[in-house]
Structures are given as structure tokens and as C-alpha cells.
Amino acid sequence: MDAFELFRKLGAGAKFDLKRFGQDAVRFKVQLKHVADDCLFAVLCLTEAGDGKLKDTGGNCISWTSSLEGKIQNLPSEGKEKNSLKRLKHLHQEKVNRIRSQHRINVHGCDVPDPVCTFEELQSEYHLNPRVLQNLRDAGLNSPTPIQMQAIPLMMHSRELLACAPTGSGKTLAFCLPLLTHLQQPANRGFRAVVISPTRELASQTYRELLRLSEGVGFRVHIIDKASLAAKKYGPQSNKKYDILVSTPNRLIFLLKQDPPALNLSSVEWLVVDESDKLFEDGKTGFREQLATVFLACSGSKVRRAFFSATCTPDVEQWCRLNLDNLVSVNIGHRNTAVDTVEQELLFVGTENGKLVAMRDIIKKGFLPPMLVFVQSIERARELFHELVYEGINVDVIHADRTQQQRDNVVNSFRAGKIWVLICTALLARGIDFKGVNLVLNYDFPTSAVEYIHRIGRTGRAGHQGKAITFFTENDKPLLRSIANVIKQAGCPVPDYMIGIKKIHSKVKRRLEKKPPKRSTICTTPRFLMKKKGKAQGRKQTARDEQQGAKKTKEQGLKKKNKTKKDEGTEKHKVTSQKMGSNSSGAELKK
DNA sequence: AAAAAAT
């Protein structure tokens, strides 16, 4: 590295506080005169600008490069100079602290590498492929977001981490770039990186992001879209020419459980758990056990794990502290808060019927599409769709009981702007990045503050402005207080009485998450005109209704759940927490 | 409650 390069690195656009450090800098200039040209130059760059600010030479901050560190170690060390260098280093640390606090980056852990302030630094410091850098530029991504500034260097140093950053703040890129850089070259050893997502829609979004970033680099990025096909592709007979795999957990498990296993994860070096708190959800129907199976399958000794989410439970943090190696946790801003780029409003609608009236009102008054409408169950999504499909607006519905084809079509049409109003379940609550959603409507009250944060996070992304309206009725009172608090914390006005509502027991909160209040059917047809049960009801039956109705009855048989599992579930929970306490060796989330 | 594998 020549002197100019060092100058660039050290001085690059530093908003160096000369008032504060000017004296120091001048002193260094004198003291370091004979130490080394490079260092002298570095210090000069801090003093040269007379106007109190350093000139912006393209970057945004000083980077204490590893190469500089090495250089300084090798310098002839006589007391005076060494001292000066110590001061210089201290100066640098102050700078780093300032950058962190400026971007609200909070880190906990040992030996945390400095944040990077430009993508170019990733090339000089961590050998990011120039083509990837070009792909970033082509995508209009010019500088890293706070989570990227800190999480990328951490992963590049192979550090296991738990990262919490707001919705729409660039978490996906924060783990994708290190994966691409870390793997260096395509290799034929089998998958070396795995990303787990809670929904297929999110998995496919991450997959497409990886494809876009790695274009022209030659990495083989895969997604399991059809498990049956995947079995052939990744099985023992395959050529192992693949690098990164993105999937939902159950599809992986399906392949792992084949005999012989249709997938081998023993070469995995990076396991990224996106929406980690979701994937840690416990219980018979939770993801946790699936995640545990995947962890166990990544049996290589080199495997590193990274957890990302906008929200984090104490449970996840506890687990990470106990099981990850030399954990670093990164938080951007305060944990579990909503973004402040969304204008949030709570709207009292009286009763269930009041919701439909209010919804029609919003539509009638004219709204700026696209809009996302969240309801609490698949059944209610269908009902609301039936009510709105004749309003003369482009409305569609998505939930897990629709076919993969339908789901893909809906997402694509919504992205293309062909759907104005998309009714959805929690399926779309997390991670999905629709550009320019103008309004999120919580038709049904969210089942928790966390759920609320994720839902409204579908708008107001990447610094854009968004709006969220949340309907509530008398029935929603138990959770009103905690949601109102989230809104208040994000800087939006809420009536005082809501904050004053008595706190509910956390046990009740948990129960509400599992069993939201029962709501009356969404239907404007008078009851006495309706048939008793089954089939789509009411006057407005169309071919589309029939299709959905038929599908529903067919699936009802499959979906019947027996109720004897409850005890079994709590038993499992006990085993799990015991295990987590005693087992520090590995990743086991289950026995 | 929702999500998550196929066939």
C-alpha cells in the first residue's frame, strides 16, 4: 500500500472533529515526522484542511486497516514514536465510536471489527469481488446501511452473531454480501452456505437477491422449489456443483430424511437464520424443532451461524449466548421497535361490522395503491376477499392454503402493480420487500406487538415514507396498550388513555398470540339468507368462489387436528430448556 | 392463528 492509498483510507471523507482533536493531530504531525512516510502522511491528512473539515475524498470515514496495523507493529519502536502511535490508535477508536453512535450501532462482544463506511472498503479490506461491487452499483446501492456497516465485517471475520435491525433496513444484503465474499471461489464440495427463511415467499426473495448480486461471478445459488426434484439434484449421485442454498426448513428436512439422505450439509460453513425469532418459535407447531434438525445436519466443524431479525426475544438471545462461539450481538437502534418512517394510526371501528364499513370508506375516499390488508386467519382472508371482489378494485388474496402457483402469481402481480389491494395472512408479515406499499391496513388487530412491528414494516422501507392504519374494536382491548406503546415510541401520537390501560399478564399475552379473539364472519349478507355451513355463502356466488369453496372442503379433511398433543408439547419444552442449559457444546435445539 | 413437504 503506497502513501496515497493510506491517505485515502485514513482520511477518506472523515468528518473529523478538528476542534476536538486538532491539537492532537498537530502534535502527531510533529512527533511522527521521522517514524514513517505513511504515518506522517496519515496524520497530515488530518491537519491539512484548514476549514475545520477534512475534504471528502470519496468515502465516509477513517478505516483502521489491518495492513496499517501491521505496518505500525513493524516500525522501529522507540518510546516516543510508539506512544504517538498509541495516541493515533486511540484517536481512531474515538472515531469508530462516533461512527457507531451516529448510526445507532450497538455492539456487544469481544474484538469487534470496525464498521465499514463504503462498499469500496469491502473490496480493499475483505476482497469483495469487483463484479459484485459493480452489481451493487447497478442495483443503485451506493453506501451500506448501519446493519451492513457492522454485520458484514463481523461475518467476514467469521464471527457468529445475533443481529437485530429494523424492518427494511437492509438485513438481507448484510448477510448476502459476506456469503458471496466468504466463499471466494465456486467449489464442488456441496453447499457451503445455507439460508433458512420462514416462508417460501421470503426464501425466493432472498434467492433472487443472491442471484442478482452474484451475477457474472459463477456461484451456484439454489432454492428448493420442488422437494421431489431437489432430491435428484442434490442427492449422493449429484456432482456437488453448488455453493449456496436458500430454503424453508421443512423442505430441507424432507430431503435430509430420505434414505439415503438426498442432501448433505456437512460442508456448510455458514448457516444464516433469517427472521430468527420466528424460526425459534416453540411448541408442536412451531419451527424450532425443524431448525434443530437443520442445525444437526450442518455437521462440519467449521460451521458458523448468524441470526438476523427485526425483533428478538430473550429466549433467542439466551440461546445464542449459550451456544454460539464468542458471540457478538449487534443492535441497530432500540430492539423491538417499529420504524419511524411509517405514519401509524389506530382507528376505533366499534364492532366487526364496523371494519367493513371503515374499509369501504377508505376505498371510496380514494387511496394510493398498492395496499396490504392483514387479517388473522385464512378463513377471514377468504371472507374479506369475497366481500371486496365486487367493489370494482383490483383485489386479490394470499395465504398458505392457496397453491404455490397461485401464491407466485399473486406476488408477481402485486409487484407489477396489477393488484391494488392484497389481502393476506401472517404469510406476508415478515421480510417481504414490496417496493412502494403505500398503506398497510391491519383489518384484524395483530396478535402481538412483534407481529405488529413486522406487519407495518412492509411499508416505510429503506427510508421511504409509509402509512399504517390499525382497526380495533372493544375485543382488542387486551393488546391495545402494548401496540399503542410501540406506536408512541416510534413518535406517532396515541391517546393517553391507551397507555394508561392496565397491563395484562404476560401469560394472557402468550395465550392471545396463540388464540386471538374469535370474530364474527365477514359478511354483509343477512344471516337468514345464508345457508348453514360449507360452500361459499350468500348472493354473490361466482366461478371463482366455487373454485375456492371446493378447495376448502377438500382440504378440511386433511386439516383436522386432534387435541391430545398439548401435554406432549409442554413436556418437549421442558426437555428443550433443560438441554439448552446444560449443553454448551453444540447447536442442539432439541434432544 | 399462521407457517411449513409431498403425493
Instruction: Sketch out chain A's domains with CATH numbers.
Output: 3-102 (no CATH), 119-332 (3.40.50.300), 342-524 (3.40.50.300), 532-560 (no CATH)
Report pLDDT digits (tens) over A331-367: 999 999 999 999 999 999 999 999 999 999 999 888 8
pLDDT in tens, A24-83: 444 444 344 334 444 444 443 443 333 333 333 333 333 444 445 555 566 555 677 778
Indicate the DSSP class of residue A493: -
Residue A396: pLDDT band by 50, 70, 90 thresholds?
very high
Helix (H, G, I), strand (E, B) or coil at A349: strand
Residue of least CA–C1' distance to B7: A228
Three-state secondary structure along A63-96? CCCHHHHHHHHHCCCCHHHHHHHHHHHHHHHHHH
**Three cell numbers written together for A342:** 411509517
In Å, what is the separation between the CA of A287 and the C1' of B7?
Answer: 23
Grid coordinates given for A382:
377468504
Scanning every strand, the nucleotide with its C1' closest to A247's CA turns out to be B4
Identify the weakest region by mean pLDDT among A61-70, A411-420, A445-454: A61-70
Residue with the bigger pLDDT between A374 and A65: it is A374
Q: Is the pLDDT reported for residue A104 higher than 90?
A: yes
Q: How far apart are CA A138 and CA A136, in angstroms?
A: 5
- The DSSP 8-state label assigned to residue A424 in this structure reads E
- pLDDT over 90 at A524, yes or no: no
Beta-carbon contacts of A143 under 8 Å, excluding residues fewer than 6 positions away, are: A60, A117, A118, A119
Nearest nucleotide from residue A513 CA, by C1' atom: B1
**Hey, is A150 helix, strand or coil?**
helix
pLDDT in tens, A4-40: 343 344 443 333 344 444 454 444 443 443 344 444 4
- Residue from A422, A424, A479, A473 nearest A446 by CA: A479
For residue A85, is pLDDT > 70? yes
| Amino acid letter, residue A103 | H
Q: Name the nucleotide with the smallest C1'–CA separation from A200.
A: B4
Question: Strand pairing of A105-108 and A328-332?
Answer: antiparallel
What's the start-to-end Cα distance of chain A, in Å?
52
Residue A147 pLDDT greater than 70, yes or no: yes
**Strand B CB shell (< 7 Å):** A 198-201, 224, 226-228, 247-254, 257, 281, 283, 285-287, 290, 376-379, 399-401, 425-427, 447, 451, 513-516, 558
What pLDDT, on a 0 to 100 scale, did the predictor assign at position A5? 42
Mean pLDDT for the stretch of residues A142-157: 98
Q: Straight-line distance from CA A511 to C1' B1, in Å? A: 11
Distance A126 CA to B5 C1' (A): 39
Q: How far is CA A230 from the centre of its chain?
A: 26
Which nucleotide does the CA of A278 lie closest to, via C1'?
Answer: B3
Query: Which of strand B's nucleotides are less than 7 A from any protein C-beta?
Result: 1-7
Q: Can you give the distance from the CA of residue A29 to the C1' of nucleotide B3 in angstroms?
A: 61
